Amino acid sequence: MRMKHWHRSGAMARAAGRNELVACGGVTCNDVARHDAVGSDVLSINGVLACERPVGRAAASAAGRSAHGFTLVEALVALVVLSVGLLGFGHLTLSALRESSLALGRTRAVYLLSDMLERIRANPDAEDAYDCASYVGGPKERGCAPSGAPARLCTARELAEDDLARWQALARDALPLAGPGICDANVAYLAATSDDAPARYRIELSWTERGSSTPITLAQELAVVSGRSS
């Protein structure tokens, strides 16, 4: 009678698709195992031996598939997070390279401005001969000492034209200039109007960075008072 009661309870548990605890009474777990191909676990409830029927194979298989799908979702989420991180790292790298290129361009421009300032200081008598606009076809190299090869002696105005032509060539090699063509690396001479307003030289460079259409302009002025520069 106890075995029949257990079988009826087991059938009801399988129909309901859930675990069911059945009082085993005098039935041992080995006896229960012989009647159930899946197997049973034995529990003690209030001192009474009870058997727990496990979930059927179909339910266990469904649970396995559910766990496998959850793991796949985790992998996809991790892949998305990794991709976003790599994109952010790439953006930072490109930004760093762009800033480095911009800094390098400014450094070259500052060096070129300082170079022309020193040339003008060394030849203060040239005056407007350093003005780029005074040369219709642009300044020409004169082979003047000490930069010429072979070197030759030049007047102050010839030396100024030679300095300007060589300086512009250096500027075109160092920077992607964005000037008006002949005077893309420009020197402008502003004559003195009074003792209080001495002659001035304005040295200007304009260039464009890669990936940008807006030119960058850097300029510096030099004042000349009675043959001396300041």
Each residue's pLDDT expressed in tens, for the chain with a length of 230 residues = 444 443 444 444 343 444 444 444 444 444 444 444 444 444 444 444 444 455 455 555 555 555 555 688 888 888 899 999 999 888 888 888 878 888 888 899 999 999 999 999 999 889 899 999 999 888 999 888 665 566 678 899 999 999 999 999 999 999 999 867 888 899 999 988 877 788 899 999 999 887 778 888 999 999 887 555 55
Q: What is the pLDDT of residue 139?
A: 92
Do 148 and 220 reside in the same domain of the chain? yes
Q: Which of 52, 56, 50, 51 is nearest to 14 (CA)?
A: 56
Q: Is residue 187 part of a domain?
A: yes
Q: What is the pLDDT of residue 34?
A: 44
Q: Is residue 12 part of a domain?
A: yes
pTM across the whole model: 0.59
Do 25 and 131 reside in the same domain of the chain? no
Residues near 209 by beta carbon (within 8 Å), at least 6 away in sequence:
98, 101, 102, 105, 176, 216
Q: Is residue 134 part of a domain?
A: yes
Do 131 and 225 reside in the same domain of the chain? yes
Q: Is residue 79 part of a domain?
A: no
Do 224 and 111 reside in the same domain of the chain? yes
Q: Is residue 78 part of a domain?
A: no
Given 55, 72, 92, the domain boundary residue is 55
Given 15, 34, 55, the domain boundary residue is 55
Do 153 and 212 reside in the same domain of the chain? yes
Report how far apart, in Å, the C-alpha atoms of 180 and of each of 87, 110, 133, 201 are: 40, 20, 11, 18
Q: Is residue 75 part of a domain?
A: no
Do 33 and 129 reside in the same domain of the chain? no
Do 219 and 117 reside in the same domain of the chain? yes
Do 48 and 120 reside in the same domain of the chain? no
Do 47 and 110 reside in the same domain of the chain? no
Number of structural domains, the chain?
2
| Domain with 153 in it | 105-229
Is the Cβ–Cβ distance between 180 and 215 less than 8 Å? no
Q: What is the pLDDT of residue 230?
A: 57
Q: Is residue 27 part of a domain?
A: yes
Q: Within a 10 A sphere around the Cβ of 54, how many other Cβ atoms?
A: 14
Do 218 and 139 reside in the same domain of the chain? yes
Q: What is the pLDDT of residue 12?
A: 42
Do 148 and 222 reside in the same domain of the chain? yes
Q: Is residue 95 part of a domain?
A: no
Do 118 and 217 reside in the same domain of the chain? yes
